[in-house]
Amino acid sequence: MSWHEAFPELSLALIAATGAGKDARLIDVGGGASVLVDQLLDAGCTRVTVLDISAVALRHAKERLGQRADHVTWLEADVTAGRLAGTFDVWHDRAVFHFLTDPEDRARYLDAVDRAVPTGRHVIIAAFAPEGPPRCSGLEVRRYSPIALQEELGERFDLVDTRRETHATPSKARQAFLYARFRQPAGGSDQYPHRRAG
């Protein structure tokens, strides 16, 4: 892995800052083999979903969790490919959005967010900061300032918190990240039209 985080401190802090209870519906988009799900289960969260496009990554996470994997909903899917079933109180993405360099892919992603995150709920996105690397794992990425992320999500979400982190990869490279927490304001999902790709 070119990227690994043994303890997802900022993700956990921002999830806690939402005030979501242990029975809140949480989704980790691009969660794959991340240990965030382990930490959420340790904290007593009971309604956790992990979505990833890679069956291999999901299998690694299930094997690591053992019997606890039965308490997680696992989705092998492309988040840009269609509507997700159900809604979520907290949408967390540490691994996907900055890889979406095609505007149509971002529009489909944000349409999924619009439909899945009701009024008053939260979206947490971590992406490479402006001073971060232009590529990761051999793929081109987009880098974001707080203003740029707000512009992507538009008026449907209010930016309520940002954090910075410089992460050291297993290969000792240092990468600058921006974490941002947004909230769907009252009337947000009804007031603003869903994005449409194409």
Per-residue pLDDT reduced to its tens digit, 53-94: 999 999 999 999 999 999 999 999 999 997 888 999 999 999
C-alpha 110/C-alpha 159 separation (Å) is 15
pLDDT of residue 4: 55
The answer to pTM > 0.85 is yes
* CA 87 distance to own-chain centroid: 14
- Which one, of 38, 174, 189, lies nearest residue 111 by Cα? 189
Average pLDDT, the chain: 89
With a cut of 70, say whether residue 191 has pLDDT above it.
no
With a cut of 50, say whether residue 10 has pLDDT above it.
yes
> Tokens 């529009």 sit at which residue?
107
| CATH code matching the domain that covers 9-190, chosen among 3.40.50.300, 3.40.50.620, 3.40.50.150, 3.40.50.11540 | 3.40.50.150
Please compute the mean of the pLDDT values over residues 152-163 and round it to a whole number.
Answer: 92
- Which one, of 54, 53, 57, lies nearest residue 36 by Cα? 57
Most confident of 30-34, 43-47, 194-198: 43-47
Question: CB under 8 Å to 99, separation ≥6 — which residues?
Answer: 136, 139, 141, 142
Give the single-character DSSP code of 139.
E
Share of the chain above pLDDT 70, in %: 89
